[in-house]
Amino acid sequence: MTDRLALAGIAAASFVLAVLQLFFLPLRFDGTLLPRLGDWPFPLTAALAAVTTPALVVLASRHARGTLGAASPLLVWVGTLLLFAVLGPGGDVLLLGDWRTLLLFAGGALPGAIAVGGYLGRRAGVRGDHR
């Protein structure tokens, strides 16, 4: 019961992080939120996704009994981004049509997939599935 509750909390954290990373993706050095430094884009959320998504996968793998449970933070994160890409609130488009969106997807999905692969490798090593 506590493992399922922990996985649900980790999935909820993954959802919240995906929403926050998506909302702050257009961050720029334009003097609004950050100092004015030539209006350069600053996709900090892609770096944040590269750290938090695999960390959540590793945390979920400690409570998971199977691959789906371990991969659930990654699946929730990608699903949330895709959901907001298709069905933005009020018909708004939240994903940018430039390199920052690709960087966000790559920054979260690739390290998260590597963490899932690490879980699968450890699980195969414990079971002795060496082929």
Query: Can you count the helices (H) and strands (E) in the chain?
Result: 4, 2
d(CA 119, CA 129): 14
Amino acid at 64: A
Question: Which of the two residues, 32 and 84, has the higher pLDDT score?
Answer: 84
**Confidence class of residue 129 from pLDDT cuts 50, 70 and 90?**
low
Q: What is the CA radius of gyration of the chain?
A: 17
The pLDDT score that the predictor gives to residue 59 is 95
Question: Which of the two residues, 98 and 9, has the higher pLDDT score?
Answer: 9
Structural domain boundaries in the chain: 2-127
- In this predicted structure, the answer to whether residue 29 has a pLDDT above a threshold of 80 is no
pLDDT tens by residue, 56-69? 999 999 998 888 88
pLDDT tens by residue, 73-94? 999 999 999 888 777 666 666 6
